[in-house]
Amino acid sequence: MAFDIEESDFIIVGAGLVGAVIARELAVNQQKKILIWERRNHIAGNMYDYIDDFGIRVHKYGPHVFHTNDENLFDYITQFGEFDKFSIDYLAEIDGIQTPTPFNFKTIDDFFPRREAEELKQHIKEYFPFQETVPILKILKHSDPIIRKYGEFLFEKDYAPYTAKQWGISPKDIDPSVLARVPVRFSYKIGYFDDKFQALPSNGYTAVFNNILNHKNINIELNTDALSRLFFSEDNTELLVKGLNKKVQVIYTGALDELFDWSLGALPYRSLKFEWRHEKVASFQNAPIVAYPQEPLFTRITEYNKLPVQQDRGASYAIEYPQIYDRNKEVEPYYPILTNESQTLYKKYLEKASKVKNLTLAGRLADFKYYNMDQALKRALETVQVVINKRD
């Protein structure tokens, strides 16, 4: 049964993974009444999935496979639904050849003459005898010219054009952590992730979120713009709610510059446009995800009937086009663009936020960080402890 806003102990802005998990923990373990305001018309944030018109489960905002090496995090998320093991294959098309990514020894075989390929692999084994993967930047700066040449090939053919297209800026301006997200592999091992736990929920992520949020102490209001109902006190030390005299704690997972009405300038984000298609074929491409670094406009294609395999229903797939984020248009801010300049601006906003006594920040947008799902989950659980300690 829904409770009145006057009874709320916390208002959480956003029903994505971070907001939902914080709500669950405070509602169950602290017996607090939680009101969630979600701008979209659904829960689950960017993990939202649904069955399309062809009976295929698709992920509205791009593919999500839960992966982690932390057993505690895996145990936590799987208590809210049945998960099936799933290791995703990922290819990249370069010069018309589809090769595994992360790039591995097969990539060397695909693009180098046999003698050069064997020499390169031997050099790698000599210089990296105990390393399974390394970041591309380490290969680019290596002292060995043969290894360095391989790095230059990969950077020129894949990393540079893909990064420039995805982020809309030169690779040299991107934070190195972004280029390090997908390393180069020194073996024939395939599979996009190396984590111990890799899985997809049997009934989809939205069902998992329904279970997380199914509690008498949690109210959810969809299609609700929290920023139209929140305002700052005159001295900017408290967040207040229109029409509510009671003081309430606010946990905010949205874009921090938007919370402060872009008073210090806009933080840069990258957005995406998805072009959805369906074909009456058993298979559209050779892997669930294929990246196209050399295509001028789009970055990758995800075939959802392979995520997981859903047979005899045709192929439903989405083509992803990176876009400039414009707050005046109906597009979502997906990825914070991490540069020295943007992180300096974020720190200025963070300083303003630190002076607001009843405000807690958490999440990809509020933290201005790129989080994998397990990192977001960990951040949520850590934030719960911060909130509890703040109130004690």
Q: For the chain, list residues with pLDDT below 50.
A: 1
Q: What is the pLDDT of residue 170?
A: 78
- Give the number of other Cβ atoms within 10 Å of residue 28's Cβ: 13
One DSSP character per residue, 332-383 reads ---EE---HHHHHHHHHHHHHHHT-TTEEE-SHHHHT----HHHHHHHHHHH
pLDDT digits (tens, 9 = 90+) for 324-339: 999 888 889 999 998 8
pLDDT given at position 3: 81
pLDDT of res. 92: 98
Structural fold of domain 5-85+201-266+337-391 = Rossmann fold (3.40.50)
Round to whole Å and give the CA distance between 250 and 230.
10
Domain ranges of the chain: 5-85+201-266+337-391, 96-185, 268-324
pLDDT of residue 391: 62
**Cβ distance 305 to 313 under 8 Å?**
yes
CB 241 within 8 A of CB 7: no
For residue 171, what pLDDT is reported? 72
